[in-house]
Amino acid sequence: LYSPFCVVSAASVPPPHSTMKPGSPVPMGTDNPGVRRAARLGVYRYNNSSNDLFLFKESQIKTAMVQVVRGLRYMLHVDIGRTVCKKRERSNLDSCHFQKKKNLQQMLRCYFEVWITPWLHTARVPVALCY
């Protein structure tokens, strides 16, 4: 029987022999739009909590995992770098270039956990550890 209203994506269904359990974190591509958005939210959290005069932005998303639990929980390892944009300028990070001056360049490795609940239109970053 054919139903035009039932669509199942084969990409989201694990094979029958899979050991993956429902709710387990799964790797995601670092170029996935949801991953990129979660990384940016982590950077916003870092910028809001740091005392640096300059804004940082993500230079590379190293690894990404996502877990479906009351929304989406992203677990990300991200390299972030200091930009030429100062915090007080309220710049759009997309238009901020990385520092060229050697004495102002700084790169940090960060671990972000970002919880996104799409149906509530909420996002929060309970973990933002950078070193």
Q: What is the pLDDT of residue 90?
A: 82
C-alpha 46/C-alpha 24 separation (Å) is 27
pTM of the model: 0.82
Enumerate the H helices of the chain as residue ranges.
33-49
- What does the pLDDT look like over 4-24, one tens digit per residue? 333 333 344 444 444 556 689
Between 91 and 122, whose confidence is greater?
Answer: 122
Mean pLDDT, residues 44-61: 97
Look at residue 19 in the predicted model and tell me its pLDDT. 55
What's the full length of the chain, in residues? 131
CB-CB contact of 82 with 88 (8 Å): no
Helix (H) or strand (E) holding 63: strand 54-68
Domains, the chain, in order of start with CATH, read 25-130 (3.10.450.10)
Reference 39, options 124, 114, 129, 90; nearest CA is 114
